[in-house]
Amino acid sequence: MRKIINWYGFEGRLALIFWLGYMAWLVVFCVIHQMVIMDSGVNVVSSILWTLREWGFWMLITPTLVSLLSKTEHYEKPLKAKLHILGAALIVALLYKVAVNLYSGRSDVLATLVSYSPKYLQVLLVISLGWYVLLKGEQVYYANKNPTTEPDSPKNNASRLLVSTGSAEAFIHVQDITAVQAAGNYVDIHTANSSYILRATLKHLLEQLPQAQFVRCHRSAVVNINYVKQLHSFATGKGELELECGRLVPLAKSYRTQFKQSVINTADC
C-alpha cells in the first residue's frame, strides 16, 4: 500500500483527499435533503451508496490519472500524451457508468452517454486545471526551497547531491552520476552501480550540474558524456546512448545536434 501511495505522488495523494472530502460532503448533503426537502426518515446507508455509485469511480482513478499526467511532462509530445490519457479516462468512466446503469436497469446506453458525457468532460477539465496549478506550484516551491547558488552571485555547481536511497538519504558525488531521468516531480539519478531518487525537476537539477559534462539528450533525460560508450542511430532519426555500465538512455531527434556539439566541445577542451 505504501508503494502505491508513493507512486501517486503529491498531486495524486491530494486528489484522493479532495475526492474523499467531496464525497463526505455529498453524503451530508443527501442526509440534509432527506430531512428538509423530502421530509422523510434519514437513511445514511442509501446516501453513502448513492455517492459511491455516482462518484466512487472517479475517486479511484483520479490519483492515477494525475500521476500519469505528471509523467507526460517529460515526453517528447506531452500535450498529445495528455490528450490520450484524458480521452482514455473519459471512455473508461462512461463504460463504467453504462455498465452500472444497465445492471441496475435504470436507463439505456444512449441515455447514459448523452446525460453523463458533458458532466464527465467538466470533471476532466477541473482535474486537469487542478493538476496543472498544483504541479507548477510544487515546482516553484522546491526550486525556491533548495537553491544551489547564492542570490546575485556567479553560479557554482554542486559537488555532491543529497538523494534518497528508498529507506534513507545519502550524499553522492556529482562526478559519479552517469545519467538522470525524469519521473514526474522526481528524478531518477543513476550511477554505475546504483539508482537514487531526488525530488526535483529535471530542469532545476540540470542547472546544478556542470554544463559541459551533463547534456540533455531527451526531454526526460540528461546524460554524463564522460560515461557514453556508443551512440546507436535509428532510421527515424532517434537514437540511444549506451553507457559504459550498459544502461541505454534515449536520444531524441530534437536533441541530437546539441548532444553531438557538446561532445565536440568537450573533446576540444
Mention every residue, 6+ apart, whose C-beta is less than 8 A from residue 108. Answer: 102
From 145, 180, 199, the end of a domain falls on 145
For 113, the domain range is 2-145
Q: Measured in whole angstroms, how far is the alpha carbon of residue 268 from the centre of its chain?
A: 39
Q: To which residue does cell 500524451 refer?
A: 81
Domain count, the chain: 2
**The predicted structure's pLDDT at residue 151:** 39
Whether 141 and 176 share a structural domain: no
Whether 23 and 51 share a structural domain: yes
**The predicted structure's pLDDT at residue 148:** 39
Residue from 253, 241, 201 nearest 74 by CA: 201
Q: Are strands 239-243 and 228-233 parallel, antiparallel or unpaired?
A: antiparallel
**The predicted structure's pLDDT at residue 140:** 54
CA 181 to CA 169: how far, in whole Å?
19
**The predicted structure's pLDDT at residue 248:** 92
CA 181 to CA 216: how far, in whole Å?
10
Whether 197 and 131 share a structural domain: no
Q: Which residues of the chain have pLDDT under 50?
A: 1-7, 147-156
**The predicted structure's pLDDT at residue 150:** 35
For residue 143, count other CB atoms closer than 10 A to its CB: 15
**The predicted structure's pLDDT at residue 1:** 40
Residue 155 inside a domain? The answer is: no
Q: Measured in whole angstroms, how far is the alpha carbon of residue 48 from the centre of its chain?
A: 31
Retrieve residue 18's grid coordinates: 479532495
Q: For position 201, which CATH number holds?
A: 2.40.50.1020
